A and B are shown apart, each in its own frame.
Chain A
Amino acid sequence: DAGVTQSPTHLIKTRGQHVTLRCSPISGHKSVSWYQQVLGQGPQFIFQYYEKEERGRGNFPDRFSARQFPNYSSELNVNALLLGDSALYLCASSLYYGYTFGSGTRLTVV
């Protein structure tokens, strides 16, 4: 059974551009959450979705948005990219309290 898959693995964007990151959860997991990890720090919670509904949102600006599709995959969108958005973006799928993480998308904004 495939784990949590994220795409792309690496991405370079220019300030002001928009980016879409994708995540496919483990089969049977209906909850997907997104995290931002800046170099040298622990991950920070961005969003959680369950059954296609937003269940939680971290302290991130409105430039960050997400959605979950009927097949439980998810997209994270970031508009008007800033240099400070450069980070590893992690997706996790979960069943009850157990989490499985993807390998992340490393976003570099130049």
Chain B
Amino acid sequence: NAGVMQNPRHLVRRRGQEARLRCSPMKGHSHVYWYRQLPEEGLKFMVYLQKENIIDESGMPKERFSAEFPKEGPSILRIQQVVRGDSAAYFCASSPATLSQETQYFGPGTRLLVL
């Protein structure tokens, strides 16, 4: 059973470009979570999605950021018009259910660098 997969692992963008980060959850997992880790900081929750639904986006910046988890295919975190402050590691996690006892399994992360 493959783990959570994220691609690309590293992404370089110039200011103003768009960044698309992909996350494929573990097989059998229908819940996806995105976290951002700024340099020298811990992980901050961004958004929680189930298939075709955004459940909790309280950690998402109000502008330029969006996330989706379509019925088919990976979850996508999209950042429009990137700025240098968006440079961070973005981690995706998945779980089979929303119960707190369920462990979230993390992907290796996508490291975004905005020039």
Please determine whether chains A and B interact with each other in the same assembly. no
Chain B interfacial positions (CB closer than 8 Å to A): none
